[in-house]
Amino acid sequence: MNGGLLVAGTTSDAGKSVVTAGICRWLVRRGVKVAPFKAQNMSLNSFVTREGAEIGRAQAMQAQACRTEPTALMNPVLLKPGGEQSSQVVLLGRPVGEMSARGYHGGRQHRLLGTVLDCLAELRGTYDAVICEGAGSPAEINLRRTDIVNMGLARRARLPVLVVGDIDRGGVFASFFGTVALLSQEDQELVAGFLVNKFRGDVSLLRPGLDMLHGLTGRRTYGVLPFRHGLGIDEEDGLRVSLRGTVRESAVAPPVGEDVLRVAVCAVPLMSNFTDVDALAAEPGVVVRFVDRPEELADADLVVVPGTRGTVRALEWLRERGLADALVRRAAEGRPVLGVCGGFQMLGERIEDEVESRAGAVDGLGLLPVRVRFAREKTLTRPSGQALGERVEGYEIHHGVATVDGGDPFLDGCRVGSVWGTHWHGSLESDGFRRAFLREVAAAAGRRFVPAPDTSFAALREEQLDRLGDLIEQHADTDALWRLIESGAPQGLPFIPPGAPA
């Protein structure tokens, strides 16, 4: 078998990533050897594979859903925004330079199509099926000419396309119809049908609309997935600062000790790998919030300064908002602060950056005896070691090279009092280390919080992936979906005018 499918969406955040993961988990439970694929990803949440390649975290999560090891083949092009109009281009896991949106879409993107097709062909030669994820919407008519991730990929690889729509946003029928109607006839021939995501209520009330949609487009709906809390794992594009106060979903179980532990995460610009705090949010009794005002740190037991694609810019933002002064006061009072990657760099004494911001020498917050120099070569590693008497694993993605001149060793960084800093992402997913760290935080914060003795982050992640597989198995027409993956789009699908503009 050499099956394939492209999961497209009516919009960004329609649920493509989790639907792709759900289909992958459903297939692997059927005994199918399956792999995920996303030709081009724009995300600040990334991961390092075992061979030292950087890919989107969503594809790493989807590989876990497939019970296979993630590789650079699964996400050959990763774009990491560095501002409103430019991104770092990561090709086959390695950065190849910064590029403006105009420059990328003006020709560079289309020249990468050969690489993308080669990667997909290699995966299809190794796996029984490859489930591809699109980006944004396939009906972005201004970008269709150079598209390599939606219909441009589907056309060249002859992939059937399933369009996902988020009904919780409203307007899903218009979105489905409009998506098809803005595609060329050749593209429309590959759009097999639709999948409704995040439905609340009685499905029978939706049926007449689905029947009318079929009558209008000649395309069926392959399933209606109900709304479920807690399935937004390893998001692609990151939280926006406008989502100040967003609470990361936590375990429902009550705290083991007498107190909860409150964690405030500074929602810095270009925040990257905010998924680092997912393991904290998974702990019973730990409440994680994203904040952008100094008064919101007052009742926090732990403040996390996360990674960012713009360390110097984020440092300026902390100062402008008054958060920098609040962090300095916390440190003086012995109240816990954790800096991860870019956050670690900001907590140091000095930053020399001629690479990312080209700002030259900039003073840090001075909370840790660390000096950082930005190198052109990016560090991409999967370190492991010991901290707080426990084994820890993580991954590193950074240009900053840190020189530590004091403090107590902490992973590759250091600790001074109740301020910790490290370049390691993902360290809190190590269960024993996370519990030991939270005990230290609780003691420093004066909280009678006790970590649960049996929380396994890996097991919780597996449960989430199984729940995604269950959604597909229970609420999609899996027989029809299997035929689509195995045999391609149905023949004779009607053309819906007006089609793509000339």
Phi, psi of 418, deg, nearest 5: -105, 25
Nearest to 425 by CA among 274, 211, 270: 274
Cβ atoms of residues 3 and 98 within 8 Å: no
CA distance 446 to 342: 28
DSSP H or E stretch at residue 317 = helix 311-321
Strands (E), 40-158: 40-42, 46-48, 54-56, 77-81, 86-91, 94-100, 129-133
Distances (CA, A) of 158 to 3, 134, 162, 452: 10, 14, 13, 49
AA letter at 278: D
The residue ranges of DSSP E strands in 191-325, in sequence order, are 191-199, 220-226, 247-248, 261-266, 271-272, 286-291, 302-305, 307-308
57: left (phi over 0), alpha (psi -120 to 50) or beta: alpha
The closest of 379, 387, 382, 303 to 347, measured between CA atoms, is: 303
Contact 91, 112 (CB under 8 A): yes
Residues constituting the chain: 502
Given the residues 399, 423, 425, 475, the one annotated as active site = 425
What is the enclosing helix (H) or strand (E) of 226? strand 220-226
Residue with tokens 């019973």: 284
In 3D space, the residue among 403, 355, 279 whose CA is nearest the CA of residue 304 turns out to be 279
Task: Yes or no: say if 449 and 255 are a contact pair by the CB < 8 Å rule.
Answer: yes
Catalytic residue check, 475: no
Partners of 307 in beta bridges: 272
Which of the following is catalytic: 341, 398, 423, 475? 341
> Are 368 and 422 spatial neighbours (Cβ–Cβ below 8 Å)?
no
Cα diameter, the chain: 71
Q: Select from 55, 42, 45 the least CA-distant residue to 380.
A: 55
Q: Which of 314, 413, 321, 304 is nearest to 368 (CA)?
A: 413
| DSSP code of residue 255 | P
User: 329: which 2 tokens?
Assistant: 């006061």
Residue ranges of alpha helices (H) inside 363-456 are: 431-445
DSSP per-residue codes, 344-362: HHHHSSEEEESSSS--EEE
DSSP reduced 3-state for 40? strand
341 annotated active-site: yes
Residues recognised as catalytic: 341, 425
